[in-house]
Structure 1
Amino acid sequence: MNNNEHLTKRRGMTAEDLLRLRSVRDPHYAPDGTRVVFVEKSIDEENQYRSHLYMWTKDGAVRPWTFGPWRDTKPRFSPNGETIAFLSDRSGRTQLWLLPTDGGEARQLTFFKNGVRDYVWSPDGTFLIALTTLGDDETIEDREEPEKAEVKRADLKPRVVERLYYKSDAAGFLDGKRAVLARIDALSGKIEALTGREEEIGSFAISPNGRTLAFVANRNEDPDTTFTRDIILLDLEKKTEMNLTNGCGTFASLGWSPDGMKLAAIGHDLAYLGATIHRLYVFELERQTKRVLTADWDAHLGDAMVGDTHADAKSPGPIWASDGSGLYVTASERGRVNVYFVSLDGPIAPVVEGDFHLYGFTVHPNGRQAVAAISSPTSIGDLYAVSLADGTKTRLTRANEALENEVVFADAKPFTYQSTDGWEIQGWIMKPPELGEGEKAPLVVEIHGGPHAMYGFTFFHEWQLLASRGYAVLFTNPRGSHGYGQSFVNAVRGDYGGMDYEDIMAGVNAALNRFDFIDKERLGVTGGSYGGFMTNWIVGHTDRFKAAVTQRSISNWLSFSGVSDIGYFFTKWEIGCDVWEDAERLWHHSPLKYVQNIRTPLLILHSERDYRCPIEQAEQLFIALKRLGRETKLVRFPDANHDLSRTGSPALRLERLRHIVGWFDHYLKGPFG
């Protein structure tokens, strides 16, 4: 059978295939290295997200470990390997549960009123530290209550706001809740609050001797306007604290060295505010010294990849080698997320490298091998055993095998081109897999959000859907993107709609010149968040595109600065001023200023509970276009936030995809195309 015959036996990707995607993630080795527990996230028959624990054993078997209509996440073996702790919403709120590895029922360990956000085991396995939240009148002993199905009108009360930061796109209205770390006895469930002040708490880790808890917190007098995050050391016996960093930067992803003498963290000094690349720090506690191990490596540590399949998979933090000689870290470079080994006293070397997106990682106790979760444009994502000596990989799971055998995928071909000022930009082109010889395909340009994020070598259902519908897909990383060094990611600040616009349009020109299967007369453009801003900007500055879809966008920086959960600082960070300092500058960078120039049919998609880019941004643009008599439509998604396309209701995600495809089909392939 030749390759073309093989392709004809497969069909194209559909919107409904979204419901069949399985995301394999968060692998974690057992202490003896014979087993790996991991999570498989899926969508059930009722279009609800579910996630269950699975176990891989050294004989190659993969077995489901939990069942039911729940979301079970973050499994971690106890130090003796006899118990798995995990988070689950099976009681209503997300709580901490314990499951024997030799069989038996899971046991609920915490009953916190507001649930558990994260946890860690103690080194001896006798207790765990969990992160929860408490309201003003709540205590650590208050127990979880059933969710109220409906709030009666008589019970409604006004929400009194005094803080600048009072809402979050992810969490909604914060209502004065403070983060609290608590110690929980693994046998009795007895709890003890370890912190209590009003503060945000991030990463936390217990020292190997079990005596010191390191955690990240904002200890500034005005935490809403000061963005450093300090590392606090808490003596668990004496209950005394020491601030290790004293406002020198913002830190996350803590990890103790095996001997307990050093503490690693991912962080930066805010030199370029939100565009500062992340680096690896190591603190030597006895000497009270700080080293930046990646100071000379112009790479962003962590996972900056944008996608719609593994977007909520948590990137692994720095992992110490068993001998303490260095650390394994993930880094985002040129559209790839790979693993590198950073030696304490030597070079930085790749250990798991390739054109793929590595979004999960765990190291075997022997230090010679690892298990990684890996995705690529034509592989949805699976676990692989990896040799840390030579990087060879062996596939362990086949979570999406049935779908991958049924559907033909479009590959993403990378290429580079020069922008109008000579800067090198990276892009990718996806050719419709069933496009015949000599046929032309309409082109859809995709623009990522952030803007400090990255497109690259990962599986993207939306793009496969467009390719299956006969569209070529172009995606690029214009300046402002991660993956190309500090100067590149910082270059967009203060220049939104400037050279970033030139980078994207130069990419369109380069694609038209290089790939003869693109129909230059049928061009479409879409993007979300910053990508929505840029979509709005593009159609206000050129008529080259026959159709556009703007999603969760920014149209007016003047209002955005006061309504977004991050607008009060992000606007100045990215555009360069506050509204009272230079309103004209904000208006200059607002796509709404150029609305009279928009002739391209524009579909506007927006979530009604989006606090990042509130829906008034879409409403202003829609009303202006309607008053001007332009071709437009506004689609509002109820009870959805900024992450609709990635983690929103599956039913609404399907509706979103259908609207996007329908709009492009009508204007690029229908009577207007």
Structure 2
Amino acid sequence: MEKRPVGINDLFETKSVTNPVLSPNDEEAVVVVTEMNKEDNEYYSAIHHIDLRTQNVTQWTFGKQKVSVPKWSADGKMLAFLSNRTEKNQLYVLQTAGGEARQLTECKNGVGSFEWAPSGQKIWFSGSLKTGETFVSKEEAKKEFPQPVRVTKMKYKADGAGILPQDEFAQIGCVDLATCSVTNFTSEPCDHSLEAVSHDGEQLVVGVNRKENDDQDFSSPLILIDTATKEETVLVDEQGYFGDVYFSKDDRYIAYVGADLTFKNATQAEVFVYDQANGLTMNLTTGIDAPVGDDSISDHLQQAVAPGVVWTEDEQLYFQLSVMGDVRLYAATLDGAIYPATGEDEHVHGYDVASNGEFALLTVSTATHPGELYLQTIATGERTALTTFNENWLKKVQPVAPQAVQYMSGATEVHGWLLKPADYEEGKQYPLIVEIHGGPHAMYGNTYFHELQVLAANGYGVLYVNPRGSHGYSQVFVDGVRGDYGVGDYEDIMAGLDEVLAQESWIDSDRLGVTGGSYGGFMTNWIVGHTNRFKAAVTQRSISNWISFFGVSDIGYYFSDWQLNADMRDADTLWKHSPLKYAKQIDTPLLILHSENDFRCPIEQAEQLFITLKDLGKVAEFVRFPQSDHNLSRTGKPNLRVARLKEIIGWFERYL
């Protein structure tokens, strides 16, 4: 059977295989499989069980719901998970021997996270409560009228959440499995994150910032708490993000992942280990000039949850590392030895490691494969596929394989990829679209990206590169964009275009398009305001005016300072880096796509740009997406994701 190119509606054909978790005896595992339902316009997921001895795969949960973060009890007889089957995420548990899942919580605002107690008789969890409220308190249902919201802090809203409740905080509670009775463990009027439970059950690690006004405070202190006495030991308390905490098998060591603010939000994440025996902390990854974790972007993966680290019995630690477009599994020992455990040219977006360190479970995607679950022997690298959820789709569809691109932009080496059109024929010429990622501190990688494949399927070449500011190429490289927006990064992107035009005769230099979202939207706006080389552009969830962004974005008041080294005390610098300033120079037909409920790059950014361009007599159109936030292209309503792709293809068809 002749294979066809990737189509827009293949969004509904591919499945996202994520979050592999081994059972305590390392003989079983579960994964979460998510798919988009066209009829219901929703995302549904299910837990699948794998017997590693027989490699039999069995679906364990069913129904029109989302499930997430499955975790085994210490004896392996129960599996707990979160599900929105009653609208908000609640905690469920099922017997692994069989039977229906049982709901454990009825938290008014849902459950945020959870961890098993080692006894298997209770589960710790977190959820939001009003001050003075308990997890078991119930309010009578009553008709509620809209009320004004008094705002006293700058951190009062968040993309995806909207206006934040002013008198609610994340608290930690505990539910007894036998009785379903719930008790509160914390009650202070500040947010608590449940990070880890020791294997003996006597200690919790909790993240909590007790500062009354945290508008300019970006610390996330980690506190070790004795569950009986509530005595506290501070693990880390400095500006930056620290979390993903895991106890070693004997509870002596506590590993966590974090990054300080030396380079603001461009600081690469590291693995730290705290030794309870002597109170000392070591940085295990200080010798690696790459970020710990998964910084690769994709529009296919759903609920791609991976542990920050995994301990083995011999006190080795495994973790993800983002490097040169790959996300690889690495291992480290406490004496400082570090080595890669997986190869190149792929995206390891989920993993777990056997207690004895002999094998790992991996969920892996590549540029031409949406991903499956694999078992890999650590010593030999031998790999066996355990699932085939996307096998039938790949029998009828042929994604385009990218070719790597590497070039010099001045003195800076830049890396990227080039997709040829799916219908490519030698001797013909084709239009080219330059795609620019968001962040800017993220990276394009060797992973399946539906949007890029759809563009190639519609007869376009696609160039996507990692300019300065991207992760995976060194601390200097990722920091290189800060204070330099629209300069070095612009040069890197244009140098990549020049490189492929010089090397690839099939590209029609008179039919060039450019698009990107978030920071990529900013850069799209910037590019068309500084060159007329592109015949069409699509800007998505973009920034056009840094002055207004400062006050309307949920992160604007600090992100502007971190990225541009300027705030409202230096409006001239904000305006200098604003694409809106250069609107008179925009002659490229520009399609503006934006979500109504985007609090990260609010829709007023698009409104300003559109009205200004129309007032100047420019060619521009504006499409607004209802009920959508900043993540429309990744987690938005399925029908709106389809509509967005059709808008992009339609605009380029019209002008290229």
TM-score by length of 2: 0.97
Deviations 1:196-218 (A, max 9, x none): 22333345101121101012222
Secondary structure of the structure 2 residue equivalent to 1:133: strand
- Greater Cα shift, 49-58 or 242-251: 242-251
Q: Which amino acid aligns with 2:74?
A: P
- Structure 1 38/589 Cα, relative in aligned 2: closer, same or farther at 3 Å? same
Deviations 1:448-496 (A, max 9, x none): 0000000010000001111111111100000000001111000100010
Question: Contact conserved, 1:318 with 1:329, CA < 8 A, in 2?
Answer: yes
Give me the whole-angstrom Cα distance separating, in 2, the residues matched to 1:249 and 1:156. 37
Question: Contact conserved, 2:160 with 2:598, CA < 8 A, in 1?
Answer: no
Shift in Å, 1:507: 0.4
Corresponding position: 1:436 with 2:434: no
- Greater Cα shift, 14-23 or 504-513: 14-23
Give me the whole-angstrom Cα distance separating, in 1, the residues matched to 2:290 and 2:15. 30
Question: Contact conserved, 1:316 with 1:359, CA < 8 A, in 2?
Answer: no
Corresponding position: 1:78 with 2:73: yes
Q: Within 5 Å, which residues of 2 pair with 1:44-63?
A: 44=37, 45-58=39-52, 59-63=54-58
Question: Contact conserved, 1:351 with 1:390, CA < 8 A, in 2?
Answer: no
Corresponding position: 1:597 with 2:592: no
2:354 to 364, 384, 403: 364
Secondary structure of the structure 2 residue equivalent to 1:454: coil
Match of 1:92 in 2: 87
Give me the whole-angstrom Cα distance separating, in 2, the residues matched to 1:452 and 1:547. 26
2:610 to 599, 612, 622: 622
Question: Contact conserved, 2:529 with 2:586, CA < 8 A, in 1?
Answer: yes
Q: Which amino acid aligns with 2:23?
A: A
- Structure 1 145/422 Cα, relative in aligned 2: closer, same or farther at 3 Å? farther
Give me the whole-angstrom Cα distance separating, in 1, the residues matched to 2:538 and 2:189. 42
Question: Contact conserved, 1:300 with 1:332, CA < 8 A, in 2?
Answer: yes
Deviations 1:286-329 (A, max 9, x none): 311111111121110000011101164123211112221x2101
- Structure 1 345/371 Cα, relative in aligned 2: closer, same or farther at 3 Å? same
Question: Contact conserved, 1:440 with 1:518, CA < 8 A, in 2?
Answer: yes
Structure 2: state its 5+ residue gaps: none
Match of 1:671 in 2: none
Question: Contact conserved, 1:265 with 1:282, CA < 8 A, in 2?
Answer: yes
Q: Within 5 Å, which residues of 2 pair with 1:311-460?
A: 312-324=303-315, 326-419=316-409, 421-460=410-449
Question: Contact conserved, 1:215 with 1:254, CA < 8 A, in 2?
Answer: no
Question: Contact conserved, 1:114 with 1:144, CA < 8 A, in 2?
Answer: no
Q: Within 5 Å, which residues of 2 pair with 1:146-161?
A: 155-161=145-151
2:266 to 263, 266, 275: 275
Shift in Å, 1:248: 6.0
Match of 1:27 in 2: 20
Match of 2:252 in 1: 261
Secondary structure of the structure 1 residue equivalent to 2:236: coil
Deviations 1:104-134 (A, max 9, x none): 1111011111110111111221211101001
Q: Which amino acid aligns with 1:160?
A: R
Question: Contact conserved, 1:218 with 1:227, CA < 8 A, in 2?
Answer: no
Shift in Å, 1:343: 1.1
Give me the whole-angstrom Cα distance separating, in 2, the residues matched to 1:102 and 1:578. 59
Secondary structure of the structure 2 residue equivalent to 1:513: helix
Corresponding position: 1:665 with 2:656: no
Question: Contact conserved, 2:346 with 2:447, CA < 8 A, in 1?
Answer: yes
Give me the whole-angstrom Cα distance separating, in 1, the residues matched to 2:153 and 2:178. 40
Corresponding position: 1:18 with 2:11: yes
Q: Within 5 Å, which residues of 2 pair with 1:121-140?
A: 121-136=116-131, 138-140=133-135
Give me the whole-angstrom Cα distance separating, in 2, the residues matched to 1:350 and 1:228. 31
- Greater Cα shift, 542-551 or 358-367: 358-367
Question: Contact conserved, 1:321 with 1:367, CA < 8 A, in 2?
Answer: yes
- Greater Cα shift, 296-305 or 512-521: 512-521
- Structure 1 229/102 Cα, relative in aligned 2: closer, same or farther at 3 Å? same
Question: Contact conserved, 1:12 with 1:407, CA < 8 A, in 2?
Answer: yes
Give me the whole-angstrom Cα distance separating, in 1, the residues matched to 2:490 and 2:194. 37
- Structure 1 104/311 Cα, relative in aligned 2: closer, same or farther at 3 Å? closer
Question: Contact conserved, 2:422 with 2:458, CA < 8 A, in 1?
Answer: no
Shift in Å, 1:263: 0.6
Q: Within 5 Å, which residues of 2 pair with 1:297-308?
A: 297-308=288-299
Question: Contact conserved, 1:230 with 1:249, CA < 8 A, in 2?
Answer: no
Question: Contact conserved, 1:219 with 1:229, CA < 8 A, in 2?
Answer: no
Aligned length: 653
Give me the whole-angstrom Cα distance separating, in 1, the residues matched to 2:616 and 2:303. 40
Corresponding position: 1:284 with 2:275: yes
Give me the whole-angstrom Cα distance separating, in 1, the residues matched to 2:191 and 2:404. 41
Give me the whole-angstrom Cα distance separating, in 1, the residues matched to 2:269 and 2:599. 26
Give me the whole-angstrom Cα distance separating, in 2, the residues matched to 1:156 and 1:269. 40
- Structure 1 663/224 Cα, relative in aligned 2: closer, same or farther at 3 Å? same
Q: Within 5 Å, which residues of 2 pair with 1:138-287?
A: 138-143=133-138, 155-176=145-166, 177-202=168-193, 204-247=195-238, 249-287=240-278
Q: CA RMSD in A?
A: 1.5
Shift in Å, 1:385: 0.6
Question: Contact conserved, 2:172 with 2:193, CA < 8 A, in 1?
Answer: no
Give me the whole-angstrom Cα distance separating, in 2, the residues matched to 1:68 and 1:374. 26
- Structure 1 29/547 Cα, relative in aligned 2: closer, same or farther at 3 Å? same
Secondary structure of the structure 1 residue equivalent to 2:641: helix
Shift in Å, 1:360: 0.4
Secondary structure of the structure 1 residue equivalent to 2:492: helix
- Structure 1 145/500 Cα, relative in aligned 2: closer, same or farther at 3 Å? farther
- Greater Cα shift, 644-653 or 185-194: 185-194
Deviations 1:142-177 (A, max 9, x none): 35999x9xx87xx12112211210111022211122
Deviations 1:11-38 (A, max 9, x none): 1211111122210000111112221111
Give me the whole-angstrom Cα distance separating, in 2, the residues matched to 1:40 and 1:192. 33
Give me the whole-angstrom Cα distance separating, in 2, the residues matched to 1:455 and 1:203. 31
Give me the whole-angstrom Cα distance separating, in 2, the residues matched to 1:602 and 1:369. 51
Structure 1: state its 5+ residue gaps: 1-5, 669-673
1:115 to 88, 110, 115: 110
Q: Which amino acid aligns with 1:515?
A: E
- Greater Cα shift, 130-139 or 113-122: 130-139
Give me the whole-angstrom Cα distance separating, in 2, the residues matched to 1:104 and 1:434. 50
Give me the whole-angstrom Cα distance separating, in 2, the residues matched to 1:204 and 1:248. 18
Match of 2:639 in 1: 651
Secondary structure of the structure 1 residue equivalent to 2:45: strand
Question: Contact conserved, 2:135 with 2:184, CA < 8 A, in 1?
Answer: yes
Question: Contact conserved, 1:432 with 1:441, CA < 8 A, in 2?
Answer: yes
TM-score by length of 1: 0.95
Shift in Å, 1:183: 1.4
Secondary structure of the structure 1 residue equivalent to 2:643: helix
Secondary structure of the structure 2 residue equivalent to 1:272: strand
Secondary structure of the structure 2 residue equivalent to 1:234: strand
Question: Contact conserved, 2:132 with 2:187, CA < 8 A, in 1?
Answer: no
Shift in Å, 1:282: 0.6
Give me the whole-angstrom Cα distance separating, in 2, the residues matched to 1:666 and 1:144. 56
Q: Which amino acid aligns with 1:481?
A: S
Deviations 1:613-672 (A, max 9, x none): 00000000000000011111000001100000000000100000000000011111xxxx
Question: Contact conserved, 2:430 with 2:506, CA < 8 A, in 1?
Answer: yes
Match of 2:286 in 1: 295
Question: Contact conserved, 1:113 with 1:145, CA < 8 A, in 2?
Answer: no
Give the 4+ runs in structure 1 shifted more than 4 A: 143-146
Question: Contact conserved, 1:115 with 1:144, CA < 8 A, in 2?
Answer: no
Identity of aligned residues (%): 46
